[in-house]
Amino acid sequence: MDRLAALTAFVRAVDLGSFSAAAVHLGLSQPGVSQQIRALEEHLGSRLLTRTTRRLSLTDAGERYLSYARDIVERLDEADRSVQSAEAQMTGTLSVSLPVGFAEAMLAEFLIRFKHDHPGLVLDVHLSDVYVDVMRDRLDLAIRLGEIRDDRLIVKNLGRARRALFAAPGYLDTRGRPAHPCELSSHEYLLYRNIATGDSVPLTGPDGQSVSVRIRPVMIVNNSSALRLAAVAGLGICLSNTWIVQNHVDAGELEQVLPDWRYHDHPFHAVYPSNRYIPLKVRRFVDALRAFLAEKGAFS
């Protein structure tokens, strides 16, 4: 038995959902793929897959074995790519996770530009404001905002973006424009659920004075785009990265609240698994994104 061929057949069958699909991908016959996986199971003395007429299901042993087998196959693919030309390495799939609001505000333009520059690359983009486990979900990289504490990951800082408070002019005309942070407690506040400071707003004044004000949320959402639109609709005050809402400010739909007071900057990071070879496509994506954000004035 060629164990590497059998490992590859096993991984491709799981990923593609059937022996026949794996056979087409590998240029083999369906019985050939089935025979390789059966030989692997006999070698291990354990069933890896449960076969039905409709689908393949992993056994408990198969679930455990898959993560190791997939890692071996991916490392071999990466080793092959490492000695290829740069153009040859910029092929295949690049899977990346992006925060929804971050992507909607500006990154669609970046993704289009990056795809245009690298036509041989398939971009598999996952948009989510929920924490994504890069290792578990087998992603090439993720873009995260905030501090990162995960020693399984390589963390590359892309820059720090300024954040501030914003509200619709109509709301402020009705409710008044706060002159000091302490007045925030009497205002309607639109809260991002995943923010580390919870229901408090820490601000630093022009003289270096720091205050933290407890606010009264009237809306709590785990999606920054929804909060931004709620602020535009006049429902209250929200916190946002300044460059994300700039178009709303330019259109007169939002204005900055307490412009002389500063909320702490928001770090942007690219993260990827530390236990893998870093492909050229990942490095180019990160470098291009850093340059794009700097070009757009995203950093403070």
139-194: pLDDT as tens digits? 889 988 877 777 778 888 888 888 999 999 999 999 999 999 999 999 999 999 88
In terms of domains, do 146 and 202 share one? no
Specify the number of domains making up the chain. 3
In terms of domains, do 18 and 145 share one? no
In terms of domains, do 238 and 166 share one? yes
Question: What pLDDT sits at residue 300?
Answer: 65
In terms of domains, do 135 and 278 share one? yes
CA distance 241 to 145: 11
* Residues 266, 163 contacting (CB under 8 angstroms): yes
Exposed, middle or buried by CB within 10 Å (0-12, 13-18, 19+), for 182? exposed
In terms of domains, do 190 and 214 share one? yes
In order of 37, 52, 90, the CA distances from 19 in angstroms are: 9, 11, 28
In terms of domains, do 142 and 288 share one? yes
Q: Is residue 300 part of a domain?
A: no
The neighbour count for residue 76, using CB atoms within 10 Å, is 13
Query: Residues 6 or more apart from 98 whose CB is under 8 A from it?
Result: 107, 125, 126, 127, 128, 142, 143
| Radius of gyration (C-alpha) of the chain in whole angstroms | 25
Nearest to 68 by CA among 48, 38, 98, 88: 48
Identify the CATH number of the domain in which residue 232 sits. 3.40.190.290
Is-above-0.75 flag for pTM?
no
Residue that terminates a domain, selected from 82, 117, 133: 82
In terms of domains, do 114 and 142 share one? yes
| Domain limits for position 140 | 86-158+267-295
Residue that terminates a domain, selected from 82, 113, 131: 82
> Taking each helix axis from N to C terminus, what angle separates 30-44 and 3-16, rounded to the nearest 10 degrees?
110
Nearest to 229 by CA among 37, 47, 100: 100
Identify the CATH number of the domain in which residue 122 sits. 3.40.190.10
In terms of domains, do 9 and 45 share one? yes
For every residue of 107-137, DSSP letters joined together read IHHHHHHHHHH-TTEEEEEEE-SS---TTTT
Question: What pLDDT sits at residue 170?
Answer: 97
* Residues 143, 267 contacting (CB under 8 angstroms): no
Exposed, middle or buried by CB within 10 Å (0-12, 13-18, 19+), for 257? buried
User: Which structure tokens are listed for 82?
Assistant: 């490492």
Residue at 213: amino acid letter: V
Question: What pLDDT sits at residue 171?
Answer: 97
Q: Is residue 195 part of a domain?
A: yes
Instruction: Give, for 142, the enclosing helix (H) or strand (E).
Output: strand 141-145
SS3 201: strand
Report the Cα 138 to chain-centroid distance in Å.
Answer: 12
Question: What pLDDT sits at residue 53?
Answer: 59
In terms of domains, do 28 and 169 share one? no
Q: Mark the ranges of the chain whose per-residue pLDDT is less than 70.
A: 52-54, 81-89, 105, 275-277, 300
Question: What pLDDT sits at residue 217?
Answer: 95
Overall size of the chain counted in residues: 300
